[in-house]
């Protein structure tokens, strides 16, 4: 007798019934760029199909996202002026609090997640405060600023704050500030395992956050390391992270899978700007089928252990899912 695994592959219906991984739109988070100002809706050249919006234009854009079936957004703020200490990052009237006010008014059910970092707000483009001659980013001096930023987002209605700076101890500092401010229900989704990756290239164009000197290797993780990722997860869970995240996505599926095995909290995966732009570029040239590649990538992240998938393709994915246009 031959054992025939092909029996369960012979048609679409049997494949659908027996598939091991399922996607749901409730897993998707859509990252969006919010720019200070009014009436702004501008293309991001390195990320075809993505735009920067001012807070007043945001509800129109989010309407399309929500009607596609996505109920969570991750907001990045682009201030008008940047300075050494990134003071706009923790301005209660800054770009993110303004965006949150708009969104909470128009979409009370929408899950609003905010990126907490300084790099979009500092004139040097680093995620923390550099010090001295060599510009080494000062971990402990950065913590109170991140805590202030998270608190300003929570006050304006953020449901989840997501620190992406990779300073040690920031989850604890943020959790303490939120609790002290009475925001005990605001969750922390930590970018726990964030590698110093070249896949963030298009994002830095989108956010104008390329470091003016040096790079982020003294705070983001070394791509060669795996056990260190487990340590970062343990620390963030101890410090009170409600959700942990691995970033980038596809090049780090092994990390995602190991993190899923040990994490007591939900695990997110961030399919980053470079992953998005590579798919866009190749599909624009007709070299790959965009829909099939995007779906395959999303299933791969889910298969490796992602409970939450953060992707610039979230509205498309949700649309394909709801219309039954995802075929295997
Ligand atoms: C800010 C931040 C970055 C990304 C998310 N938050 C950029 C960076 O660390 O350089 C990257 C997201 C993407 O590439 O899609 N620290």
Q: Measured between alpha carbons, how far is 257 from 300 in angstroms, rounded to an integer?
A: 10
| 109 in any annotated domain | yes
Q: Is 201 exposed, middle or buried (0-12, 13-18, 19+ CB in 10 A)?
A: middle
Residue 70 lies in a domain: yes
Structure tokens at 274: 């470079």
How far apart, in whole angstroms, are the C-alpha atoms of residue 9 and residue 15? 5
Indicate which residue's Cα is closest to atom 10 of ligand 1: 200
Cα 267 to Cα 197, 226, 241, 291, distances in angstroms = 20, 16, 11, 24
Total domain count for the chain?
1
Q: Does 127 sit in the ligand 1 pocket, CB within 6 Å? A: yes
Nearest atom (ligand 1) to Cα of 200: 14
Whole-angstrom CA distances from 122 to 104, 113, 142, 195, 228 are 27, 21, 12, 21, 28
Active-site residues: which are they? 194, 247
pLDDT value, residue 132: 79
DSSP H or E segment with residue 194 = strand 187-194
Give the integer Cα–Cα distance in Å for 177 and 151.
Answer: 7
CB atoms under 10 Å from CB of 54, counted, come to 20
pLDDT tens-digit profile, the chain (328 residues)? 999 999 999 999 999 999 999 999 999 999 999 999 999 999 999 999 999 999 999 999 999 999 999 999 999 999 999 999 999 999 999 999 999 999 999 999 999 999 999 999 999 999 999 997 889 999 999 999 999 999 999 999 999 999 999 999 999 999 999 999 999 999 999 999 999 999 999 999 999 889 999 999 999 999 999 999 999 999 999 999 999 999 999 999 999 999 999 999 999 999 999 999 999 999 999 999 999 999 999 999 999 999 999 999 999 999 999 999 998 9
| Ligand 1 within 6 A of CB of 46 | no
CB count within 10 Å of CB 166 equals 24
Whole-number pLDDT of residue 133: 81
- Give which of 116, 124, 201, 208 is closest to 156, Cα–Cα: 116
Query: Is 106 a member of any domain?
Result: yes
**CB of 117 sitting under 6 A from ligand 1:** yes
What CATH number should be reported for the domain holding residue 104?
3.20.20.70
Give the pLDDT confidence score for residue 72 in this predicted structure. 98
Q: Which atom in ligand 1 lies closest to the alpha carbon of residue 203?
A: 14
The number of the ligand 1 atom at minimal distance from the alpha carbon of 274 is: 14
Token pair 């596609």: residue:
68
Cα–Cα dist 254/270, whole Å: 14
Q: Which residues contact 66 (CB under 8 A, 6 or more apart)?
A: 107, 110
State how far the Cα of 146 lies from the Cα of 162, in Å rounded to an integer.
10
H or E element, residue 175: helix 170-180
Q: Is 146 near ligand 1, meaning CB less than 6 Å away?
A: no
Domain that holds residue 277: 5-322
Span from the CA of 268 to the centroid of ligand 1 (angstroms): 15
The residue length of the chain stands at 328
Structural domain contains residue 43:
yes
290 in a domain, yes or no? yes
Any idea of the CA torsion for 233, 191, 46, 295, to the nearest 10 degrees? 60
52 alpha carbon – ligand 1 mean position (Å): 15
Residue 327 lies in a domain: no
Two tokens at 277?
Answer: 């732009």
Distance CA 315, CA 175 (A): 31
This prediction has a pTM of: 0.97
- What 3-state class would DSSP assign to 226? coil
Ligand 1 pocket residue status of 78, Cβ below 6 Å:
no
């Amino acid at each position: 007798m031959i054992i025939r695994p092909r029996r369960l592959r012979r048609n679409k219906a049997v494949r659908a019934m027996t598939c091991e991984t399922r996607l749901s739109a409730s897993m998707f988070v859509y990252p969006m760029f919010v720019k200070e100002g009014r009436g702004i809706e501008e293309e991001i050249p390195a990320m075809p199909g993505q735009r920067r919006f001012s807070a007043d234009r945001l509800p129109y854009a989010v309407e399309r996202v929500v009607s596609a079936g996505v109920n969570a957004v991750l907001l990045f703020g682009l201030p008008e002026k940047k300075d050494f200490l990134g003071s706009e990052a923790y301005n209660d009237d800054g770009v993110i609090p303004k965006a949150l006010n708009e969104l909470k008014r128009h979409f009370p059910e929408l899950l609003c997640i905010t990126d907490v970092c300084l790099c979009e707000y500092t004139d040097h483009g680093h995620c923390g405060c550099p010090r001295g001659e060599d510009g080494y980013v000062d971990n402990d001096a950065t913590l109170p600023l991140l805590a202030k930023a998270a608190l300003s987002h929570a006050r304006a209605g953020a449901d989840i704050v997501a620190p992406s700076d990779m300073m040690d101890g920031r989850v604890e500092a943020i959790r303490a500030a939120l609790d002290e401010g009475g925001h005990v229900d605001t969750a922390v989704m930590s970018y726990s395992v964030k590698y110093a990756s070249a896949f963030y290239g298009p994002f830095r164009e989108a956010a104008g956050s390329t470091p003016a000197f040096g790079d982020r290797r003294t705070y983001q993780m070394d791509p060669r390391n795996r056990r260190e990722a487990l340590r970062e997860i343990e620390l963030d869970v101890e410090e009170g992270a409600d959700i942990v995240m691995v970033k980038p996505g596809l090049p780090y599926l092994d990390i995602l899978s190991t993190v899923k095995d040990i994490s007591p909290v939900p695990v997110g995966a961030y399919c980053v700007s470079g992953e998005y732009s590579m798919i866009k570029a190749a599909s624009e040239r007709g070299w790959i089928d965009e829909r099939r590649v995007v779906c395959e990538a999303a299933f791969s992240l889910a298969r490796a252990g992602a409970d939450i998938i953060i992707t610039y393709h979230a509205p498309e994915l949700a649309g394909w899912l709801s219309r039954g246009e995802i075929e295997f």
